[in-house]
Structure 1
Amino acid sequence: MATAARTGPAATAASAAPEGTQVPETTEASEVTEAPENTEASELTEAPEVTATEIRRHELADFLRSRRERITPEQVGLVRGRRRRTPGLRREEVAQLSAVGVTWYTWLEQARDIQVSPQVLDALARALLLDRSERSHLFSLAGAIDPAPGTDCPSITPALRALLRQLEPIPACVQNSRYDVLAHNRTYGRLLCELDAVAPEDRNIMLLAYTNEQWRSTVMDIEEVTRFLTAKFRAAMAEHLAEPSWKALLKRLETASPEFRQTWARHEVVSSGGRSKIFRNAHVGLLRVETSDLWLGPSAGPRLVTYVPRDEETRERLQRLQALVLADED
């Protein structure tokens, strides 16, 4: 008897398969298991969130690569050679100039998760001929403290001095992050003490607040004020722990003032910000002011500090103080 010819997909597969290949029987429709709904959604996994640390590593890698590629061998005393195709320096040349391993430096440009010491960053900055801004950016990306930072005080330009004068009779000065007074107007010079009689190297708010008797007698609630100042100073110093000038100031304060040593031992920290203050000025009497900081650069750097009168009586007394200063100059 003749066998009925099979039709359908199974027959097609059987005819197409090589001889000796077993083709599975067609699955009946009733045996087919339906795929669960939302299969795609259930199988998808969320991409891992990129952390700030990873972003900084990649930024650091890109920054190093860009600085390396802009320097010619001749700039660092190397011979170019005839077959050089790499723009700028090779990785091994940077490693050699920085006295670090080639593999380690390669990992750094590949954004690997490796630790970089301030000393190595310093060597890289020198090898790559980084300027002040680039060096600061390098240490910031690496999350490290620069052991040899440049000065954070700006140049006191004629325009800045003119601004200080035009703010009269509002007392105003320019301070750096270490609380050194870099410049001031006439009214500020008589606000808390005879500031012009103080040596320039001693015109530091921390030193004056703890060691200058005229300053201390002018400030109402001096203990509260010095405690607040010390907490701000500790917070600011966290970014300058390796800097000799900061360490020297800290040592000087500890040596000169038992009160500072006691307050420093509290380990209190507070951020910078405006604050109401009351002064008893030796020339014009009680002054109620509100301090305000205008940053002239990065928030950890120099700032313009003003003492705005809180009432009309204080405003009039500041005008009298300015007049006294002008009279003394005549």
Structure 2
Amino acid sequence: MKNLNSEKQRYKELGDFLKTRRDRILPSQVGLSEGLRRRTPGLRREEVAALAGIGLTWYTWLEQGRPIQVSAQVIESLSRVLMLDKQERIHLYTLAKQVPQADITSYERTVSPMLQHVLDNLVLSPAFIMDTRWNIIAWNKAACLVFTDFSKINMHKRNMVWMMFTNANYKQLFIDWKFHAQGMLARFRSNCGQYIEDSWLVQFVQELKRESMEFDLWWSKHDVQRNSEIYKKLNHPIVGTLVFEFSSFEVSDDPSLKLIVNTPFSETDTDMKIKLLLDK
């Protein structure tokens, strides 16, 4: 009996939560007319149901606290229509006994001094830290000298994938750009599969499709790939050919961050050329 009562209370809480969030949304916020005979302070039930793409009867049962199963897709639609913030969205998923869809968040802080110290001590190895969105958030001097001065790039464009497809100087570094670009895109898609409905990712892909014909073409192929790149061969405008062993590591203190290290290949003179760049 206790479990039955708790389930009833959860369904009632779900219905009440939906009603309070419906009441606070103005029709104008979702592109609807206010109308002259509107009695409710916010949206009507039929308006929420239509905007969310679900049946009115079914939505009415939800608000009435009836014991019906709610899919994650419906919860996501209702979260969008009711303009829920992150905490409200999580709460709605919890009440519906569903797992929230993952968000692909950016890293809004600077890395710790200790992590920057690690980067700086990789003197001859161009290295940087990137977040879940593949934004470059920290780097060492060698990385700036070999790839580009990241500090001079707008933080919204300081993204590995964006640079690979839109930054002409960065693209020209790669001797076989097509191979590296396709491989990077396949790894990016593989990493972001769990966030495919994330609003940032949707917008990012749309913008890159407009900026790059190659991205538009290759994204539609749906290629996926894990980290299989071992060597990176570049044609630097000052010192010529550079060959690196490519390594990627999760940061133990924050799994959302990755440390990317390009180690000079031992059978080449890459380390000597990096020293020349550092001494200039």
TM-score range for the pair, normalised by the shorter chain length = 0.5 to 0.7
Aligned-partner residue type, residue 67 of structure 2: T
1:171-226: CA deviations, max 9, x gaps?
Answer: 11011232211111111112123333221211111111111111111111001111
Match of 2:84 in 1: none
Question: Is residue 19 of structure 2 the alignment partner of residue 103 of structure 1?
Answer: no
RMSD, aligned α-carbons:
3.4
CA 234–190 in structure 1, closer or farther in 2 if over 3 Å, else same: same
Cα distance in 2 for residues equivalent to 1:166 and 1:90: 57
Matches within 5 A, 1:1-330: 90-99=6-15, 101=65, 103-104=67-68, 115-117=71-73, 119=75, 125-126=90-91, 142=99, 145-146=101-102, 150-151=105-106, 156-296=111-251, 301-311=256-266, 313-324=269-280
Q: Aligned-pair distance for 1:299?
A: 10
Kept after mapping to 2: 8 A contact 1:273/1:293: no
Q: Report if the CA contact (8 A) 1:210-1:226 is conserved.
A: yes
Q: Contact between 1:192 and 1:218, CA under 8 Å: does it hold in 2? A: yes
In 2, are the aligned partners of 1:171 and 1:191 still within 8 Å (CA)? Answer: yes
Secondary structure at the residue paired with 2:234? strand
Within 2, Cα distance between the matches of 1:123 and 1:203? 31
Cα contact 2:246–2:260 (8 A) shared by 1: yes
Q: Size of the alignment, in residue pairs? A: 220
Provide TM-score, normalisation by structure 2. Answer: 0.67
Distance 1:230 1:127, change over 3 A: closer
Unaligned runs of 5+ in 2: 16-61, 80-86
Over 3 Å counting, the alpha-carbon distance change for 1:259 and 1:127 in structure 2 is closer
AA aligned to 1:317 is K
Name the CA distance, whole Å, in 1 between partners of 2:271 and 2:229: 18
The 1:282–1:150 alpha-carbon spacing in structure 2 relative to 1, beyond 3 Å, is closer
**Percentage identity across paired residues of the two chains:** 17
How does the TM-score come out when normalised to structure 1?
0.58
1:300 Cα offset (Å): 7.9
Structure 1 stretches of 5 or more lacking a match? 1-85, 106-113, 131-137, 325-330
- Higher Rg: 1
